[in-house]
Amino acid sequence: MNNKIIFKTGLALASLLFVFSSCKKQLEIEPRQSIEATTALSSKDAIDASIASIYSSYKSARLYGRDLIAIPEVLADNGFATNKSGRLLNEANNVQGAHFTGSVWSIAYASINQINNTIAAINTGGITPKPVQADLDRWMGQLLFLRGLYYFNLVEVYSYIPGAEVAANDKGGVPLSVTGIATSTDALAWKPSRAPLADIYAQIVKDLVDAESKLTFPGLGVNLANKAAAQALLSRVYLYSKNYTESKKWSDAVITLASSKLATTANYVAQWRGETHTETLFQVRFATPAENIGVNESLQTSFTTLVTPGNQASTGGFGDVVPTISMLNDLGITLTGGNTASVYALSHTVASRSTDVRNLMFEPGTAGRGNIKVECTKYIGKNGTINLDNIPVLRISEAVLNRAEARATAGSPVLDLAGALTDLKSIKSRRYTDYTGSAAETDDNAMTQAQLLEEILRQRRIEFAFEGHRFFDLKRLGRDLVKGPHYNNVAFTDTRILPAVPQSEIDGNPNLKQNVGY
């Protein structure tokens, strides 16, 4: 070939490639397991999928997957940390900083933003195929219920509860937003302060009341939001904020709707062994093996070493948290050697039990992780696989105890000791095999208001043992954490009642106030 031709060809080829290089198309590449955000929420399926993700976040071990259930037990007086894996040890010891983590904050706000963006997408009306009213009610009912519950989780964890504040340590509620953030400009500009506690509770109530009006019962079933769940949560939120009239009102509503679900002494154990407890109004469901939290942090592993009830030969989890002596006393369990605790680390088995069927949820674990302890078996792989359990969030018996407390609390506008006693008995008769007609019943009939309230609270402790209520119940009542003989007591005025707001939020935002002591 002629040199010149080659030269020209070479140059032509090179310049062609130069042109090609500036072609933008060549740099185009699309992700496959994600899609463009701006058009993601444009179909009915997309809205349903978005809502699924909001429920799914509740499965996190930082929320109902473990922390919202296990940490309230150890921070308060129910749980003793066995140190079998080393987990929850510092929480049980109330070490400063060992508390709920910043993940409650980040996961809850991610879900709230998802809710806000989904509501915005629904409201733009650009959804295809066009949703009918039933779709809108189903979506909005669930989204508002979930937003109410997430804000409730945030504010019960990071703030004081109305009517039980320590003024010197009170920094208010949490940041409040009901509009979605969908651009980085908005996200960078978002420097919130903590909204007043009252504003947060008002928003929770507003969302739940709206949700209640849009939802039905049994409606979508107990794995999803439903009317009874919204009512039960309203009953709890009002009880926490000491609005006893409204708490009773919503308790009345849900008891009317669902009191038939109350378990009895005859079926109590069976209910906890089945996938879904009949009393459940709302639970977080774990269905497939892929949803399994696993051997480190599931509730089963946190609370028991057993794989199946009664089989001490097979060790599964760690059994990191077991009932304290005072919890065992309330449960009516006496250990071999008595309920003393000079060195609570010794192996223990059950010497005797009261007639309370609830203590059947507690039994000796295995020797596989060290000394045998009496452990809680409410979560024991009920869904068919080890470490896979549905987690009840709202049960009908809570509404009964909420109403009892609303009626029995001194100064309550709906003070009604007889009614409170009736509510208390409706629980006790379903829990103690020999309660009706017993001496205990006679004693209960003679209780003063103060005694009645204490008994209601004691029953609440037993009924919801290892279900994540205890710390919040003590906190909303402004009570000290009495942790002897295992640990030192923590006064309600102590800064360790509140966890730290994530430090990174404080570092990046001068408007946001950290809780005291961090």
Applying the rule CB under 8 A, the residues between 182 and 211 that interact with other proteins are 182-184, 186-188, 190-192
482 binds other proteins (CB under 8 A): no
Written as one string, the DSSP assignment of 63-76 is: TTTTHHHHHHHHHT
What residues have CB less than 8 Å from 62, skipping those under 6 apart? 101, 103, 104, 107
CA angle 331, 62, 367 (to 5 degrees): 50
CA distance 452 to 421: 7
Strand partners, 333: 353
State in angstroms the smallest separation of the CB of 340 from other proteins: 10
Q: Kindly identify the residues of this chain, within the stretch 282-311, that bind other proteins according to CB under 8 A.
A: 285, 287-291, 295, 307
| Residue selected from 17, 134, 167, 446 as contacting other proteins according to rule CB under 8 A | 17
Residues 305-332, buried b or exposed e (16+ Cβ, 10 A)?
bbbeeeebeebbbbbbbbbbbbbbebbb
113 binds other proteins (CB under 8 A): yes
Contact 255, 236 (CB under 8 A): no
State in angstroms the smallest separation of the CB of 366 from other proteins: 8
Q: Which is nearer to other proteins, 54 or 376 (CB)?
A: 54
State in angstroms the smallest separation of the CB of 371 from other proteins: 6
State in angstroms the smallest separation of the CB of 490 from other proteins: 10
18 binds other proteins (CB under 8 A): yes
| Residue selected from 169, 271, 349, 371 as contacting other proteins according to rule CB under 8 A | 371
Q: Kindly identify the residues of this chain, within the stretch 379-398, that bind other proteins according to CB under 8 A.
A: 385-386
Residue that the structure tokens 């949490």 belong to: 174
| Residue selected from 112, 205, 322, 420 as contacting other proteins according to rule CB under 8 A | 112
147 binds other proteins (CB under 8 A): no
351 binds other proteins (CB under 8 A): no
Contact region for other proteins (CB under 8 A) — 43-51, 137-145, 355-363, 416-424?
43-51
65 binds other proteins (CB under 8 A): no
Distance of CA 235 to the CA centre of its chain: 16
Contact region for other proteins (CB under 8 A) — 1-9, 256-264, 354-362, 405-413?
1-9
440 binds other proteins (CB under 8 A): no
Written as one string, the DSSP assignment of 265-316 is: TTTHHHHHHSSS-TTEEEEE---SGGG---TTTSHHHHH-SBSSTT-TT-B-
Q: Which is nearer to other proteins, 134 or 343 (CB)?
A: 343
Long-range contacts of 64-68 (CB under 8 A, 24+ apart): 64/284, 64/391, 64/393, 64/468, 65/284, 65/293, 65/297, 65/298, 65/299, 65/391, 66/293, 66/297, 66/298, 66/299, 66/302, 67/100, 67/101, 67/103, 67/104, 68/104, 68/153, 68/468
**CB burial of residue 168 (10 Å; 0-12, 13-18, 19+):** exposed
| Cα dihedral 412, 415, 417, 420 in deg (nearest 10) | -80
133 binds other proteins (CB under 8 A): no
Q: Which is nearer to other proteins, 198 or 313 (CB)?
A: 313
| Residue selected from 135, 136, 166, 223 as contacting other proteins according to rule CB under 8 A | 223
48 binds other proteins (CB under 8 A): yes
What separation in angstroms does the CA of 22 have from each of 11, 17, 236?
17, 9, 63
Q: Kindly identify the residues of this chain, within the stretch 448-477, that bind other proteins according to CB under 8 A.
A: none
CA distance 384 to 415: 45
128 binds other proteins (CB under 8 A): no
- Binding residues with other proteins: total (CB under 8 A): 114
276 binds other proteins (CB under 8 A): no
Q: Kindly identify the residues of this chain, within the stretch 74-93, that bind other proteins according to CB under 8 A.
A: 81, 83-86, 89-90, 93
Q: What are the backbone angles phi and psi of residue 490, rounded to the nearest 5°?
A: -125, 120
Q: Kindly identify the residues of this chain, within the stretch 499-518, that bind other proteins according to CB under 8 A.
A: 500, 502-505, 507-509, 512, 517-518
State in angstroms the smallest separation of the CB of 493 from other proteins: 15
332 binds other proteins (CB under 8 A): no
State in angstroms the smallest separation of the CB of 32 from other proteins: 4
Contact region for other proteins (CB under 8 A) — 135-143, 226-234, 244-252, 281-289?
281-289
Contact region for other proteins (CB under 8 A) — 16-24, 124-132, 142-150, 325-333?
16-24
**452 three-state secondary structure:** helix
